[in-house]
Structure 1
Amino acid sequence: MEPTDPLYLHPAESTHPMVVDIKLLGIENYLEWKRQMEIAICSKRKLGFLTGVVKRPTDDPLRADTGIHKSIKNYVLYTKTANEIWDYLQKHFSASNGARKFRLNKELEDLEQDEKSICEYFTELRILWQNLEIMTDWPPVTQVTPEINAWLDAQLKEQEERKLFQFLNGL
């Protein structure tokens, strides 16, 4: 089998289930769990199975229950593909959570350096920014034009400026 084949398993890779740091408990930690799973699965070059781009061979039994709390595992027990599990979890746990966004924004507003080093303070800010960023559901850009590039550049500049002001406000 060619190393570029999505079914290829490198000799250094284990056939044991992948381990992530956290178990999916529900909406409260879905985004963090999802990101850890994406990183772990991308590192093995298998994300296509979750997104549905790569189809699982019909003679391969599904064993995709790693990192899911047993109370949630029962809901995905009878799904046929990793993509079905991924889509189910996304549908049920990734809904925009206004209360969580509010809490994260409030934490950003209240965060101050106090006795922390600049590095510790910035790390706390960055974690909050990243949590808010993954909760934002931007539509995919399918065609890039000069106008879209200019708009994206302006958005990025505004976002970086806002982060700078938040950083400076907490010093």
Structure 2
Amino acid sequence: MAQQLDSRQTNTIIEPAQNPSSVYYLHPSNSASSKLVSIVFDGTCYIDWKRSMITILDAKNKISFTDGSLPKPAVGSSDERAWHRCNNMVTGWIIASLERHIAKSIMYFKTAFEIWKDLEARFGNPSTSQIYRLQQLITVFQEPNMSVAEYFTRGKSL
């Protein structure tokens, strides 16, 4: 009896959406309206927001929905529904982390990958004026009332 039970257990295939190591797995506590990151993207500090999002999406095994490495499965395939569920969840997470005016501008993209590409195209390349402003801040950076640790931390962030 024990041998029969063991052989049945090894032949059991876990559905991808139920397998915690699968890209299609969604934990019961996940919600599309959850704010995954503390930084709400308002059009400034895109690199900080992007880094935070990449970190959490990678931890949740969902980064492939934003980097395009997991293409949409063929219509009628066994993974199609699970892919749509996860894509919609990632899309919701992205939207929840954006200021309203930015969220409205990406609301009708169909995939998280399309949203990610659009945000990267609009905000990923710093303008010449932003680079100049940062160079000025670094050049005149002086804070005599800071501790050494605070000074170096602030300097590093610039």
Q: Please, what TM-score do these two structures have when normalized by structure 1?
A: 0.64
> Residue in 1 aligned with 2:146?
116
> Residue in 2 aligned with 1:38?
54
State the distance in 1 between where 2:36 and 2:66 align: 16
Cα shift at 1:10: 4.9
> Residue in 2 aligned with 1:8?
25
State the distance in 1 between where 2:45 and 2:147 align: 28
Name the Cα RMSD after superposition. 2.0
Among candidates 45, 68, 90, match of residue 52 of structure 1: 68
> Residue in 2 aligned with 1:91?
121
**Range that drifts further, 81-90 or 57-66:** 57-66
| Amino acid across the alignment from 1:102 | Y
> Residue in 2 aligned with 1:159?
none
SS in structure 2 at match of 1:5: coil
State the distance in 1 between where 2:47 and 2:20 align: 31
State the distance in 2 between where 1:10 and 1:67 align: 19
Identity score, percent: 29
**Where does 1:127-142 land on structure 2 (aligned, <5 Å)?**
127-128=157-158
Cα shift at 1:108: 1.1
> Residue in 2 aligned with 1:25?
42
State the distance in 2 between where 1:83 and 1:15 align: 20
| Amino acid across the alignment from 2:62 | K
Per-residue CA deviations over 1:12-46 (Å, capped at 9, x if unaligned) read: xx2122432122222x2322221221122122121
> Residue in 1 aligned with 2:12?
none
| Amino acid across the alignment from 1:87 | K
> Residue in 1 aligned with 2:10?
none
Unaligned runs of 5+ in 1: 129-171
Number of equivalenced pairs: 125
Q: Given that residues 6 and 54 in structure 1 are in contact (C-alpha distance below 8 angstroms), is that contact kept between their aligned partners in structure 2?
A: no
| Amino acid across the alignment from 2:66 | L
**Range that drifts further, 82-91 or 52-61:** 52-61
Per-residue CA deviations over 1:65-114 (Å, capped at 9, x if unaligned) read: 22111111122111111000000111111123111111111111111241
Q: Please, what TM-score do these two structures have when normalized by structure 2?
A: 0.69
